[in-house]
Amino acid sequence: MRKKYLDNIRWITVVLVVIYHVIYMFNGEGIMGTVGKITDLEVQYYDVYQYMVYPWFMCILFLVSGICSRLYLEKHTGKEFAKSRTRKLLVPSTIGLFAFQFIQGYFNMNMGDGAELPQGIPAPIVFVIMALSGIGVLWYIQLLWIFSMLLLLVRKIEKDRLWKLGGRTNILAIILFAIPVWAAGLILNTPIICVYRFGLYGIIFFLGYFVFSHDEVIEKLKKYFAVFLVPAVILCVLFCIFNFGKVYADAPVNRTPLFTSYAWFACMAILGLMAKYGDFENKFTGFMSRKSFGLYVFHYLGISMVAILLVKPGYISAVPAYILSTVAAFAVSFVLYEIISRIPVYRWMVLGIKKDKKRN
């Protein structure tokens, strides 16, 4: 049976990502690559939302992806898995850059006046720069494809021995996993582009596959979710107090034990809570689950369009900017998904949808 709570975790997290990017776009904390502060407030205290969600929301997506990889491989071959993940993840984040995401790249370059830099450079080179600048949120599916391919190699070596061992994980071990998660967060971090954290996201993805794909382990999380929820809330408060106003997405903040321990306990609390109370589907949750990938891929374009075309020139004030950005994020995403998913070949390049994809 399909685990509905995993679908619900995924789409709810994507919605939180959308809200995060709206606030992030107009943040008052000096974070680069955005329009920045547009209010007259001395301190934008609502910016704390960024600090509340950033440490864990991508971690939970990688964790769920690891679990889902195991569930998929229980009914499909490794070859089918590689083909499916390459189509769904690698194609949109490589070919898709040149087929569509160069549009996002154009807005990203204008965000920091980067559009002026390519003057005098041949048009094909400018286009390549725009396409690469359009990676944006697609870094997640790029990493996920790499982890998926590594998983196939690891599976050939461990032959389910490690996976079976993961089924014996108890609550104490789950708590102590916070230590290797912190250690992994210290390594394999790319400079400048701080989102490519191979160590942190890699270990969480593989823990999802080897440990949390076991129903026995999930049952323990459901029973003892408060063991993780209470510390997660406390760590959230501490993280916000100690780091508000700092650049939370880069070193040294994102290398601290406070950052990773908050991320880990939050992920465990969410997984346990949703397994216990969120394992259901109705028309709304079903719709959001089906559209969540399109929402993730396209939402930042809607936000960027409002930011560059309306906010940066000063045509609208702060309140309309936040409202319009939020509306545009959802509206542009759903409209683009419905249009592009109907265009043969192009839908494969941009969304990884194959020819015989059944539409809902």
Residue 356 within any structural domain of the chain: no
206 within some domain: yes
Domain that holds residue 241: 4-351
pLDDT value of position 65? 98
What domain count does the chain have? 1
Residue 270 lies in a domain: yes
Q: Give domain status of residue 360, yes or no.
A: no
Whether 209 contacts 67, CB under 8 Å: yes
User: In angstroms, what CA-CA distances link 295 with 120, 121, 336?
Assistant: 36, 34, 9
Indicate whether 357 belongs to any domain. no
Count of residues making up the chain:
360
Q: DSSP secondary structure string, 211-233?
A: TTTSHHHHHHHHHTHHHHHHHHH
In a domain, 61, yes or no: yes
- Percentage of the chain modeled with pLDDT above 70: 96
| Averaged pLDDT in 10-residue chunks for the chain of 360 residues | 92 98 93 89 95 98 98 96 97 97 93 62 88 95 98 95 96 98 96 93 98 97 96 98 95 96 98 97 96 97 97 95 98 98 96 69
Q: Is 282 inside any structural domain?
A: yes
- Asked, for residue 359, whether it belongs to a domain, the answer is no
pTM as predicted? 0.95
